[in-house]
Structure 1
C-alpha cells in the first residue's frame, strides 16, 4: 500500500474527537466513520498487495483503494490543522475556542463534503469489485493463485541459472575451494554450510560446482539436491528427499510413502534411510528462517561427517543454525571488475577482446551490472545478438538498461530480482520503496534514510525500543536479505548503502505503479494527477513544474545540484502550503535564504538544510510545532533564535560550520537560554559551551548524542556534574576552545560510570593532563578519539584492554618516544590512526596484540627511526597508509629485495599506499607498479579526499556521532 503508519495520528484524533464533541457536531461521526474505513482499507491492502501481478482486475482495485486511503489521510490532516489547537484556560481560553469553531465553519463544511465524496468513491469501488474480494474469491483463493504465480516466477529464475553456466562463470575458483575446505575439513561432526547472497549472484552455480568436484564426490556416499521456495511445504519437501535417497541407493520408492500424511512419519523414514551413511545434502533457494527448525529432526547427525549446504538470499536463514550445530556462512561477493569483464567478453565476443570503438560503451554497460553474474550473462546475450558494428544500438542499451524492450532474458533477470521484493514483509516493502528516490549513483546514507522513514510514519512502534532502533533493525533486515548492500564496509565514513542498478529499476517501477514517489530527472515525462512524494534530480526540470502540483505532497527531496536553488522558485512551489508535507530535504542545493513559505508547513517533521549557504534562521521557525529533525550541518548558521524552544518535540538538532578551520576544529552554534525546555532532544550537535548551557544540559535526560565545542579549563567540574545526569548517552564529542586549551576532566572518574556506562563513541579533542579515569571502564566503547591531547604518559597502558574498541584515533595524542602494543591488547580493534606524534621514534607490536586490526594509518611521524617492529604479527592487516614519515622508514619500505626480512614482514598486507608529494598515492613496490597520476581506484580516491587534512579526522568523529 505504501500509505504511512497513521497510528500516532489516530490516537491524537480520537482524543480530539472526544474533547471537541460538542463543537464538532455531525462532523464527529463522519470523521470516525472514515477512519474506520481507513483501517479496513489498510488491512485489505496489506493482504492483497503483491498478489495482483497476475490479475489485472485486482491490480485496478488495489490502485483505487490506495488512492482513496491517501485522500483520507489528507482529509484527516486538514481536520487536525483546523481543530488541533491549544486555546488556553479560563474565560479567554473558552472564548478563543468558540471563536475558532465559528472560524472553522466553512473548513468544516469543506471537510464534510470531501468525506461524502470519498464515501461515494468507496461505494463505487465496493459495487464494482463486490467489496474488494467477492469477484476474486476468498483471501485464501487469492493466496493460492499468487503462490502459483510465485512458483512460476521461481521456475523462470532457476532456468536463468543456465545463463551463467553457458558463460563459464569466472571468479569461482577461490570461493569454490573455500567451501570444499569446509566440507572436507576432517571433522566427523555434523555441519551446515550456508551460502548467502542476492538473487543472480551465482549461489546455485557455485554450489553445483562444489557438489560435482571429484574430491567431494569421493568423500560422500549420498548426494541430494532439493530446491525450496517461498511457499515450501514440509511434507512435500520430505517426499522429494525420500525420492532422491531411494534413487541414490538404486531402489524404487515404496508405494506406502505416497500415502503417509504425517510429517513425523516422513521424518522417521528419512532418518532410517540416512542411518550410518555419509551424505551431502543441498537445499537450494531457501527463504524462510524457520526452514531448518522443521527439517533438522529428519537428518541423522551421527559422527559420519555429514554435511548440509543451504543457499539463500536471506542472511537470517544462514545464521539460523549458529550455536546449534557446527556451521559456516559464506557470503557471496559481486565479481570484481576484471572478472566481470572476462565474463562479459566470453558471452559477447566468444572470448575475444572487445573492439576499441565499443570499449567505453561496454564499460558503461558493465558498470550497471555491479558484478552480478546473472545480469552480465543476460546483458551479454542481448549484446551478442547485435554484432559489433552497430554502436548506436549499444549506446541505446547503455542509456536504457532497465527498459521494457531489452530482451527476454534481461526481463527474466529483473523478474527474479522482483521475487526478493515480493518476499518482504509488508512494512519493509514500503521502506525499500523509499530508497528508490535516491539517484542511481548517489550513495544512500543510513541516517538520512532512517529519518525519512520515521518522519513519514513508516516505522511501527514497539515496546522498549526507540523508533531509531527499530528503523536500524529494518535496515539490517533489508541488508541481510541482500536487497541493500553496504558500499564500503571498512570505510571510516558513516555507513553508506547502495542498491543494485537492476533491482533499483524494479523498485522504481513498483514505486511508479503505486504512485509512491515521482522522480524528476531531466525529462518532462508525464506526472501523476496527485504527487505524493517528489525526488528532484534535476533542478532545471523542477523549475518548470506547476506550483499547484505540490498540494498533496508528503515529501520533497532535492538532491545536490550544481545549479543554485533560487528562493523565489521554492516560494512559488510552496506558496499553496502542502497540507501534509512532512519531509523537506534541501541538502546541498546552495540555497541562500529560507523562504517564509517553509515555516507555514505546519505538519513538517524533517527539515534538512545542510550544505546550503543559509546564514540566518528566522524567528518563524517556532511555528513548525511538529518538527522532529533540524539539520544545519555545514551551513553558515552561528546562532538560533529563542523561538526554537517552542518546538517541544524536536529530537535532532544538528549545526556545524561550513568554514574550513585549522587543526580539525569544528564549530557549531550559539544556543538560546533555557535550552533545557527541549526535553525531547536525543541528539544535540555542535553547541557552543558557556556556563549556563553546561549547567542546563543536565536536564536533557533523553540525550543519546551530545557535541560541545569551545570548552575551557574552568568548565570541567560543571561539565562532569551535568554528564552524571545523562543516563542515555551513547555518543559524546568534547572540543576545547583552542589548540592549547587544557580540558580539566580529572573528575571524570568512577563516580560518572553509572551515567556513561553505555557510551559507544567518545571524542575528546583538547589538551589532557592524563587519560580520564573512567575511559578504561567504558566497556561498550567502540570508537575513541584523543585528538590533540598531548599526553605525557603512554595512553596505551590504560586503554589496551577496552574489550569492544574498534577504532582508535591518536592524533597529537602522545609526546613520548616509544609505543608498545602488548600481547592481548586491543582484542577487537579494527582501525588505528597514529598521526602527528612528533617525538615518536620507536613502535613495537608484540605477538597477539591487536589480532583483528585491518587498517593502520601512520602520518607525520617524522622522527621514526625504523618501521614498526613486529608488524608481521598483525596477520589480518589489509590496508596500510603511510604519509610524511621519516626518510629512514621510507627507505626501508622501498626495498625491492623480496628476500629481505623487512619485505617479508609486510608481504602479507594486501594494500600498502605511500603518499608522495609529486606522484600522489603510490602502491608499494611489491605490486610492481605505481600510479603517477593519483589514486588507482575509488577506494584510494576516497582515502585521498578524506585524509587530506586533519580536519577530516574530526569530521569523521562528528559524522559517526550524527549517524
Structure 2
C-alpha cells in the first residue's frame, strides 16, 4: 500500500498548494497557519515513504494503508469546504466565522490522525526488515551514470527468422495470404512484427501477419503447414541480449560479473522480454556481485512456477526496484487498452491530472513528467514507438504482459480510486443522450449504473460498468452542473468537483438539427477548482456557439485552456485584490478566437508557451492589442490565423515554431520575420502570403 499512500500524499500537496494560492486568499476563509502545518506533515510523510519504501513489515503495510485513507479523507474534506465556500460567496461575517470554524475543526482531526500514524511509524521503524541489507535492491536516481541501451529494439537471434518473414510477405503472389507468427506467451510475437520495415514491403498489403502465441490456436485456422515459429534464444544469444541492454554492447566489461550474469540470462529461459526487462533493472542498479546474485536467486526461483506466473514474477523484480515516485506513473498504464499507441503528450497530461508528479523547483510539471517517462523507457518498462524532431518521445506503448503486471499491482494497491479526467461527447439527438459521464460511451439498461445524487441541481449521473469497476469510490463524489447544451430543451452534464482534466467534443457530423444550439459554460466552472486542463473542441466553429464566463481567469491551476475559435472574455478586474493576485503562472497553452493581447492579459499569463489565435473577422490592431505579442517572452509556439493583411506586428524572439494562416503577408516582409526570430525551427504558411515569388536573402531563413 506504500504506492497508494505516496500517490495520495503527492496529490494532496497539489491540493494544499492550490488552497494557499493568492487568488484563494480572497475567496476562502481558512487558517493559513493550520494549512501550512498540515502541508509540512504531508511532505514529511512523503519523504519518509521515499526513503523507506524498500523496507517490509506487516505493520508498515497496515500503516501505509491507513495513511492512504487519511490522505484521501483530507482531500475530501478540503474539497467539501472549498466548494461550499465558493458556492455561497456570502458577505455575512457570521457565516464566514461558522465556515472557518468548521473547516479548522475538520483539518485538526486530519492532523491528529496523521500525528498518530507518524508516532506509530517511529515505533515500528527499528523493527523493520531492512531490504537494503538482506535483499540488496539498489535503485539509482535519475542522474544515474548507467550506460544507455540502444534505442533500437534488439533482435538478437532473430535475423534468419526476420528474413524469412520479409521473404514470405514480399513474394510476387497476389492471393490473400495470412502468415501466423507463433511464439511463447506473447513475449516474442510483437518483437518480430514490430521489427518489420513496412516501407520496404511495397504493395504487399494483401498479405497479413497473424500473430499468435500458441500453436494450437493457429492450427484450427488452417495453418498446419504454413506458419512461422519463433524459437527461444539459446544461452549465448540470451547473454548477448542481456549485455546489450545492461552495457550497450554484446560483452561484459566486468569479468567478476560474467559468470553470475550468464546464470541470470539462463534463468530467463530464452524469453526476450524477460531478458530485456531484467537488463533494464541491472542497468539502473549498482554493479556489485552481491546484488547480481540476489537477482539470479530470484530469477531462478521464479522459473520453477508456471509459465504465466514465472514471467510476471521475473518482470515484478524490475517493478519492485523502481523508485517510489515512478511506481504510480507506471501502474497508471493499466488504463490504456492492450496494444494501444499512446501519445506521450496525452500520457503526461494524465499523469499531471492524477497528481502523481512531485514538484521540482525550477522545472514545470511537464518537464518532470518527461524525465519520469524517459526513466521508465530506459528501464524498458515503456516502449518508444516514435520520436519528435527535437528528440523527445512522441509515441509510446506498453507490452501486454507488462500491462497485466500493472493491472495486478494497481488492484492490489487500490491505486486509482477517483477519476480526475472526464470526456464529454454530445449526442446527435436528444434521445441518444444516455451516456457514461466519464467516457461518453452509450449506455443501455444492461450496462447503466446510477450513482448517488449529492446536489439537487444535478440529476443522478450514470456510469458504464467498465468505469465503475476501475473507480470504486464514485459514490463519494460531489456533483455540480457546469456545461449545459441548450436547444429547445437543455441537456446538462454532471461533473465532480475533483476533476483536473475536462475534454468536451462534438461528434454531431454537421447535423443541421444542432446549428442554432449553444453550449453554456456558466460561472460555476470555478467550482471545478482543481481543474488544470480544459479543452473544448466543437464541429461548428461559430463565435456565438460557446459562451465562456470571466471566471476562467480566476482558476489559477489551469495549465491548458483551449476553446477553439471561440472568444475568451476579458479578465475580471478587482482593484481591491490587486492585479498580482490573479496571475495564472501555470498556464502554458492557450487557444481561442479573437484573442485580445491586452496589457492585462499579458500580465496574467507570464509563462505562456503555446498560443493558438484565430480571427474569423477582420481584426483591428488597436482592438486586439496585437503589438503586445512581443511581450510574451516565454512563447515558443504560435499559430496565427488572421484573415486579413498582417502588418507591423513584432513576434517574440523566443519563438521556435510559427504557423501563419490567411495573413496575406508580402514576400518582402518574410525577410523581417526571418531575421527577427533567431530561435525559429519550424515555419509553416497556409495561404499566408501575397505575391507569386519569394527571393529569400542569405543569412535570414537560409543562412
* TM-score (structure 1 length as normaliser): 0.45
Correspondence for 2:527: 623
Matched, 1:331 2:151: yes
Conservation of the 8 A alpha-carbon contact between 1:74 and 1:579: no
Matched, 1:679 2:545: no
For the residue of structure 2 that corresponds to 1:669, the secondary structure is: strand
Correspondence for 1:743: 646
Conservation of the 8 A alpha-carbon contact between 1:607 and 1:631: yes
Task: Evaluate the alpha carbon distance shift between residue 389 and residue 628 of structure 1 in structure 2; reply closer, same or farther with a 3 A threshold.
Answer: closer
For the residue of structure 1 that corresponds to 2:660, the secondary structure is: strand
| Aligned partner of 1:145 among 126, 131, 134 | 134
Matched, 1:602 2:500: no
For the residue of structure 1 that corresponds to 2:367, the secondary structure is: helix
Correspondence for 1:761: 657
1:387 Cα shift?
9.8
Q: Aligned ranges for residues 540-555 of structure 1 at < 5 Å?
A: 543-545=447-449, 547=451
Q: Aligned ranges for residues 305-344 of structure 1 at < 5 Å?
A: 317-318=147-148, 330-333=150-153, 335=155, 342=162
Task: Evaluate the alpha carbon distance shift between residue 40 and residue 117 of structure 1 in structure 2; reply closer, same or farther with a 3 A threshold.
Answer: closer
Q: Aligned ranges for residues 197-236 of structure 1 at < 5 Å?
A: none
Conservation of the 8 A alpha-carbon contact between 2:661 and 2:685: yes
Correspondence for 1:442: 340
Larger of the two Rg values belongs to structure: 1
Task: Evaluate the alpha carbon distance shift between residue 99 and residue 444 of structure 1 in structure 2; reply closer, same or farther with a 3 A threshold.
Answer: same
1:437 and 1:340 map into 2 onto residues whose CA distance is 37
1:431 Cα shift?
1.9
Correspondence for 2:241: none
1:684 Cα shift?
5.0
Matched, 1:7 2:23: no
- Name the count of aligned residue pairs: 534
Conservation of the 8 A alpha-carbon contact between 1:621 and 1:643: yes
For the residue of structure 1 that corresponds to 2:537, the secondary structure is: strand
1:515 Cα shift?
1.3
Matched, 1:784 2:604: no
2:475 and 2:629 map into 1 onto residues whose CA distance is 41
Correspondence for 1:663: none
1:357 and 1:406 map into 2 onto residues whose CA distance is 39
For residues 32-82 of structure 1, the C-alpha deviation after alignment (integer angstroms, 9 at most, x for no partner) is: 998777556544533444565xxxxx3x54543333122212332244245
2:567 and 2:440 map into 1 onto residues whose CA distance is 34
Task: Evaluate the alpha carbon distance shift between residue 645 and residue 87 of structure 1 in structure 2; reply closer, same or farther with a 3 A threshold.
Answer: closer
Correspondence for 1:508: 407
1:448 Cα shift?
2.3
For residues 155-186 of structure 1, the C-alpha deviation after alignment (integer angstroms, 9 at most, x for no partner) is: xxxxxxxxxxxxxxxxxxxxxxxxxxxxxxxx
Q: Aligned ranges for residues 352-751 of structure 1 at < 5 Å?
A: 362=182, 369-371=189-191, 383=214, 408=306, 411-489=309-387, 495-517=394-416, 543-545=447-449, 547=451, 568-569=461-462, 595=492, 597-598=494-495, 601-610=496-505, 616-619=519-522, 620-634=524-538, 638-656=546-564, 668-674=565-571, 679-680=583-584, 682-683=587-588, 685-689=590-594, 697-699=601-603, 700-710=605-615, 715-716=620-621, 719-737=625-643, 741-744=644-647, 746-748=648-650
Correspondence for 1:211: none
Conservation of the 8 A alpha-carbon contact between 1:443 and 1:496: yes
For the residue of structure 2 that corresponds to 1:371, the secondary structure is: helix
1:722 Cα shift?
1.3
1:713 Cα shift?
6.2
1:501 Cα shift?
2.3
Task: Evaluate the alpha carbon distance shift between residue 116 and residue 688 of structure 1 in structure 2; reply closer, same or farther with a 3 A threshold.
Answer: closer
Task: Evaluate the alpha carbon distance shift between residue 51 and residue 434 of structure 1 in structure 2; reply closer, same or farther with a 3 A threshold.
Answer: same
Q: Which has the higher contact order (CA 8 A, sep 6+)?
A: 2
* TM-score (structure 2 length as normaliser): 0.60
For residues 359-385 of structure 1, the C-alpha deviation after alignment (integer angstroms, 9 at most, x for no partner) is: 55849976974217999xxxx99847x
For the residue of structure 1 that corresponds to 2:620, the secondary structure is: helix
Correspondence for 1:526: none
Matched, 1:45 2:49: yes
1:505 and 1:796 map into 2 onto residues whose CA distance is 58
1:723 Cα shift?
0.6
1:434 Cα shift?
2.1
